[in-house]
Structure 1
Amino acid sequence: MKRFECGTLVPGCDWHTRAEEEAEVVRRAVEHLKVTHGEEIIRPSMVDHIKERIRNDQSQTA
């Protein structure tokens, strides 16, 4: 499971997401940045910043 916490990119934001695939985490993060933070253009460098902050999530619950 992969996890992204928006606060690592946008200080003060509590939003986070988890998914099995990194691509799905990136997709959700991009959508969040557009809807919540008003980003109209997501440049490749922003996708790189998201990917750099994705972590393996070991706290899976049954």
Structure 2
Amino acid sequence: MRLFECGTLVPGCDWHTRAGEDAEVVRRTVDHMRTVHGETVIRETMIDNIKARIRDDHTAGQTA
């Protein structure tokens, strides 16, 4: 699984998403940026910043 945590881009935001593909993580994140943070224009630099912060989620599927 791949993970994006919005707080790495927008300090104080606790939202995060997981998906199997980076493209789906980006799609969900762009939707979040529009609906929650009021971004009306998503520039290529924003996409690049999102992609740079996507990482492997090594905790996915683990149980405590």
TM-score calculated relative to the size of structure 1: 0.97
Partner of 2:9: 9
Partner of 2:49: 49
Q: Secondary structure at the match of 2:36?
A: helix
The one-letter code sitting in structure 1 at the alignment partner of 2:57 is: D
Alpha-carbon distance between aligned partners in 2 of 1:38 and 1:56, rounded to the nearest angstrom:
27
The total of aligned residue pairs comes to 62
The one-letter code sitting in structure 2 at the alignment partner of 1:53 is: R
The one-letter code sitting in structure 2 at the alignment partner of 1:34 is: R
Please tell me the root mean square deviation across aligned C-alpha atoms, in Å. Answer: 0.8
1:17-59 Cα shifts (integer Å, max 9, x gaps):
0000000000000000000000000000000000000000011
TM-score calculated relative to the size of structure 2: 0.94
Give the structure with higher Rg (CA): 2
Unaligned runs of 5+ in 2: none
In the TM superposition, structure 1's runs of 4+ consecutive aligned residues that sit over 3 Å from their partners are none
Unaligned runs of 5+ in 1: none
